[in-house]
Amino acid sequence: MNVENLVIIGSGCAGLTAAIYAARADLAPLIIEGQQPGGQLIQTTNIENFPGFPDGVNGFDLVSNMRTQTEKFGARFRSGVVESIDLKKKIIDCEGDRIESRAIIIATGAVPRRLNIPGEEKFWGGKGVSTCATCDGAFYRNKVVAVIGGGDSACEEAHFLTRFCLKVYLIHRRNQLRASKIMADRVLSNPRIEVLWNTILLEICGKEKVTHLYLKTQDNEYDLSFDGVFLAIGHMPNTKVFENQVECDSEGYILANGITTGIPGVFVAGDCCDRHYRQAITAAGMGAAAAIAAERYLS
């Protein structure tokens, strides 16, 4: 069994940036692509806040360019999903192959929680359904949008969207917000946010783009016109395979000191440990830091 210098688990923005830095350091990293090669950016049609692209950049194009850049410097890719892993021994089982490495970077990302209702998939990614107000809020300038959820994330998204949107509806299935008091008060006192209590989203409707939502209360079902809907019901980090090997919080996010995990030679980057920012640029920064740390560890 050949021993790799560095294996990077995940091929999103964090993993690919780590691969660029590691490959330029002559580590010849091996990237295990995972279930969704390219990560969440693959489904993003236009990214306006990634530095260096004044007119924005298509998510697929950005990931493709990053991958080309990694290969230019000697990185290698292995399709597949990690089925089991021993982080202390640094032995990885990936769909029939056993891989041993001197160092590992975990960059497995996270996936937004979905409602799994009619219309959600149809309008995903640039057609009216989003999970990131920071990424997509500016597309809805002077529009009417809905935010689904009742926690801190939903309140933050709703408050942020008032910078652009004519009106923001916060749709919550309960009769009170789960958010912290300061966030809840901020939303409830904002005249541009209206909360629809005890309301459930049943269907996202439209032709080419979202035009209205089909909603349900205890007494009624009705349509309401919207230009877009933001799902803010949380994320699920892709960390199940690392359970009981690294410390995680109650939702599965890896608890790290920056990019270090507490296991020598094992580093982490991106959305699998970042529950606060979840941006392409912050994931890229963490990926660069993890690769530099891995190179110093191997040295």
What does the pLDDT look like over 169-189, one tens digit per residue?
999 999 999 988 999 999 999
How much of the chain exceeds pLDDT 70, in percent?
99
135 in catalytic set: yes
Decide if pLDDT at 106 tops 80.
yes
Mean pLDDT of the chain: 94
Amino acid at 30: L
Chain centre distance of CA 238: 10
The arithmetic mean of pLDDT across residues 84-106, rounded, is 96
Active-site position among 61, 86, 93, 132: 132
Decide if pLDDT at 109 tops 90.
yes
| Residue 40 pLDDT | 85
| Residue 153 pLDDT | 85
132 in catalytic set: yes
Domain chopping of the chain, boundaries: 3-111+235-298, 114-231
Q: Provide the pLDDT confidence category of residue 1 given band limits of 50, 70 and 90.
A: low
136 in catalytic set: yes
What's the CA gap between 214 and 200, in Å, rounded? 9
Active-site position among 93, 94, 97, 135: 135
Most confident listed range (32-41, 132-141, 205-214): 205-214
What's the CA gap between 168 and 162, in Å, rounded? 7
Decide if pLDDT at 204 tops 70.
yes
Amino acid at 168: V
How much of the chain exceeds pLDDT 90, in percent?
84
Q: What is the CATH number of domain 114-231?
A: 3.50.50.60
Amino acid at 99: I
Which residues, at least 6 apart from 238, have a Cβ–Cβ distance to it below 8 Å?
A: 10, 34, 35, 108, 109, 110, 111, 272
The arithmetic mean of pLDDT across residues 154-166, rounded, is 95
The arithmetic mean of pLDDT across residues 216-235, rounded, is 95
> Helices 181-188 and 152-161 meet at what angle, rounded to 10?
30
Active-site position among 13, 136, 248, 271: 136
What's the CA gap between 174 and 217, in Å, rounded? 10
195 three-class SS: strand
Class level of CATH domain 3-111+235-298: alpha beta
The arithmetic mean of pLDDT across residues 9-26, rounded, is 97
What does the pLDDT look like over 258-290, one tens digit per residue?
999 999 999 999 999 998 888 999 999 999 999
Query: pTM for this structure?
Result: 0.80
99: β partners: 92
